[in-house]
A and B are shown apart, each in its own frame.
Chain A
Amino acid sequence: MKWLRQSLSFEKLAIYVLLIFFALLFLLPTFIAINTAFKPPMEVWEVTSFPSRFYLGNFKEGLSKIGRGLINSALIAFPAMLISTFVGSLAAYPLSQLKFKGDTAVYFLLLAGMYVPCQTVLIPLFFIIRRLGLYDTIPGLWLIHTAYGIPFTTLILRNFFAIVPGELMEAAALDGCGIMGYYWKILLPVARSGIATTLILQFRAIWNEFLFALTLTQSTKTIPVTVYLQSFVSTTEVHWGPLMAAALISILPTIVVFLVFKKHFVKGLAGVYK
């Protein structure tokens, strides 16, 4: 018995050693980026040393390269996450609460959209957006993120709405609350945690999106931060200090959102891929 307990604690120790090893390994790239970002230009090349002093010049230069992109990304991401979550809820409501003919087929169709490669729609999309006069505009990106968010937002919100008991609707109907009223007054408030999760995950997806932005924007007033960052890293002579600073600035919003709303993140992702 004593031997068993000892072997168990040895197992525990081995687990901690492994976990800490992996944790350090996972933190290393971010740590190197932070370390480099705070170094004066002359020290950047000594990658394994610490900065001799806290140098903020890299952040200043990095911000001058991608600052406008941050504003654009915010102007794109906040409205787009709201609109796309709203449109997702429109589809998720009947698919979770109202049984109708062909509901499975509709759900199947929308779900399949999640697996369509972007490159399959990219050329027609380019011309559709031009014809709508939305090429290189921020509302154009709202529309695109809303449309291509539908499979994901519908799927995740449908799961959240499905937990809301059907009796609530019957009770609401008896109280004279119509199907519309039920959606606004009962379903959305009751499922608010699920809606928050969807908003957060959409924020991350839209903030981080690259291909559509690369293809459909071209002027400084619309290009989001991902594309700014991409053109920064693609220059022939990269200044690593400012680049690391810019990369860190670009990921700050999503990291903050993740740290604040971690439960939503984890629950949402685990729920979607369930």
Chain B
Amino acid sequence: MKFSLSFRQEKTFSTVLFLTIPLLLFTVFFLYPIGYTLYLSFHEWNGISPTMDPVGFKNYFDIVKSPHFRTALMNNGKWFIFYLLLPPGLGLSLALLINKGVKGGSIFETIFFLPNTMTLIAVACIWRWLYTPGYGLFNEVLKGIGLPGWTQNWLGNPQIATYSVMIAVLWAEVGVFFIVYLAGLSNVPQALIDAAKIDGASSLKSFRYIIWPMLAPATVIVIAFSAIGAIKIFDLIYTLTRGGPAYFTSVLALFMYEVSFNRFQMGRGAAVGVILFLLAALIIGPYLIYSMRKVEDIRQ
């Protein structure tokens, strides 16, 4: 009896001890800054002056009126749609192809995942070179196959620049979507598909009615992953176009960085930070609740 009591006490003590450092860091680097950003968003501050002027919702009104913000928000919307469709679509297609029991699947896996190991800055270097107007690969190939009229200033034309960046992101990031779907597919029992085939189900039908429903958990994660990708997108745009031409390829993360660290309008920058946080909470909140329920299930 004495043993079990002291064991429980030790357990409580240890739990507290182990969680102290992680929770302390979490408080200092997550909770406090989020609160401070919210506070700052209602003030005007240049980052240096000892005083901050409270301005109520002025920063938010100013932002909403700014055309740069509206373009950036629209672009985040485009990124959201892109992220929901293309990386998951291509990732799933590649996973389905490999899952058919091909030889050398491991080599294909390596090839499709390789860009995902690179820093996005290096990815941007490579793609800037491919997109170079005069003699980059894309324009050279178009000229080579007799379509010189199709050559473009891929990153300089505001009509297409965002889509050009999307292709680079697709190349760089599809690997992780591919891996997640591949893992999901490995959970689908082959016997089930074989049985459906014997019953005369086409590949398409067995995908629609057997594989796709069984991939639902993977798809939920992919959607969450996509959504946050669309909100966080920064590195590649910053390096490829710096939001340009003008601000046509800008996104909220870039707008925030520019306002805060180039123009030193900390209050405004903070307001953009709050808007980003709210967008993330709105989209990710339901997913978190869903995944928490799953966690509970596992432990039962």
Interface: B146 (CB within 8 A): no
Which residues in chain B, 107-129, are within 8 Å of chain A measured between CB atoms?
107-115, 117-122, 124-129
Interface: B221 (CB within 8 A): yes
B110–A269 touching, CB < 8 Å: no
With both beta carbons as reference points, the residue of chain A lying nearest to B225 in the complex is identified as A273
B121–A119 touching, CB < 8 Å: no
A94–B14 touching, CB < 8 Å: yes
A120–B121 touching, CB < 8 Å: no
Q: Which residues of A contact B130 (CB under 8 A)?
A: 29, 32
B102–A16 touching, CB < 8 Å: yes
Q: Which residues of B contact A121 (CB under 8 A)?
A: 29-30, 33-34, 37, 273
| B117: contacting residue among A22, A36, A154, A251, CB under 8 A | A251
Interface: A58 (CB within 8 A): no
Q: Which residues of B contact A100 (CB under 8 A)?
A: 11-12, 15
A255–B114 touching, CB < 8 Å: yes
Interface: A180 (CB within 8 A): yes
Interface: B77 (CB within 8 A): no
Interface: A173 (CB within 8 A): yes
Q: Which residues of B contact A274 (CB under 8 A)?
A: 183, 217, 221
A125–B33 touching, CB < 8 Å: yes
| B40: contacting residue among A123, A179, A271, CB under 8 A | A123
Which residues in chain A, 98-152, are within 8 Å of chain B measured between CB atoms?
98, 100, 104, 106-125, 128, 144, 146-148, 150
A208–B37 touching, CB < 8 Å: no
What 0/1 readout, one digit per residue, does chain A (16-50) give for beta carbons within 8 Å of chain B? 10110011001111101100100000000111100
B239–A117 touching, CB < 8 Å: no
Interface: A171 (CB within 8 A): no
Interface: A59 (CB within 8 A): no
Q: Which residues of A contact B118 (CB under 8 A)?
A: 208, 251, 254-255
A47–B135 touching, CB < 8 Å: yes
Interface: A244 (CB within 8 A): yes
B98–A147 touching, CB < 8 Å: no
| Known A124-B36, A247-B122, A251-B118; contact A19-B102, beta-carbon cutoff 8 A | yes
A116–B280 touching, CB < 8 Å: yes
What 0/1 readout, one digit per residue, does chain B (259-300) give for beta carbons within 8 Å of chain A? 011000010011011101100100010001001100110100
With both beta carbons as reference points, the residue of chain B lying nearest to A27 in the complex is identified as B111
Interface: B5 (CB within 8 A): no
A154–B22 touching, CB < 8 Å: yes
Q: Which of B62-70, B136-144, B208-216 contacts A (4 or more CB under 8 A)?
A: B136-144
What 0/1 readout, one digit per residue, does chain A (240-274) give for beta carbons within 8 Å of chain B? 10011011101100110111001001100111011
A16–B98 alpha-carbon span in the complex (Å): 9
| B129: contacting residue among A33, A106, A208, CB under 8 A | A33
| A87: contacting residue among B22, B224, B235, B242, CB under 8 A | B22
A111–B291 alpha-carbon span in the complex (Å): 10
A106–B27 alpha-carbon span in the complex (Å): 12
Q: Which residues of B contact A114 (CB under 8 A)?
A: 228
A147–B25 touching, CB < 8 Å: yes
Interface: B94 (CB within 8 A): yes
Interface: A15 (CB within 8 A): yes
With both beta carbons as reference points, the residue of chain A lying nearest to B267 in the complex is identified as A123
With both beta carbons as reference points, the residue of chain A lying nearest to B118 in the complex is identified as A251
Interface: A233 (CB within 8 A): yes
Interface: A74 (CB within 8 A): no
Interface: A90 (CB within 8 A): yes
Q: Which residues of B contact A55 (CB under 8 A)?
A: none
| A258: contacting residue among B117, B134, B224, CB under 8 A | B117
Interface: B61 (CB within 8 A): no
Interface: B207 (CB within 8 A): no
B276–A120 touching, CB < 8 Å: yes
Expressed in whole angstroms, the minimum distance between the Cβ of B182 and any Cβ of chain A is 7
A120–B239 alpha-carbon span in the complex (Å): 21
Chosen A-B contacts, 8 in total, with CB atoms closer than 8 Å, are A12-B102, A48-B144, A104-B292, A104-B296, A150-B25, A229-B119, A230-B239, A262-B109
Footprint of B on A, CB under 8 Å?
11-12, 15-16, 18-19, 22-23, 26-30, 32-33, 36, 45-48, 87-88, 90-91, 93-94, 98, 100, 104, 106-125, 128, 144, 146-148, 150, 154, 162, 173, 178-180, 183, 204, 207-208, 210-211, 215, 225-227, 229-230, 232-234, 238, 240, 243-244, 246-248, 250-251, 254-255, 257-259, 262, 265-266, 269-271, 273-274
Footprint of A on B, CB under 8 Å?
7, 10-12, 14-15, 18-19, 21-23, 25-26, 28-30, 32-34, 36-37, 40, 47, 94, 97-98, 100, 102, 107-115, 117-122, 124-130, 132, 134-137, 140-141, 144, 171, 176, 179-180, 182-183, 203, 217-218, 221-222, 224-225, 228, 231-232, 234-235, 238-239, 242, 252-253, 256-257, 260-261, 266, 269-270, 272-274, 276-277, 280, 284, 288, 291-292, 295-296, 298
Extra contacts besides A104-B295, A266-B113 (11): CB < 8 Å = A26-B111, A45-B134, A87-B22, A100-B12, A106-B19, A117-B280, A122-B260, A124-B32, A204-B117, A230-B238, A233-B121
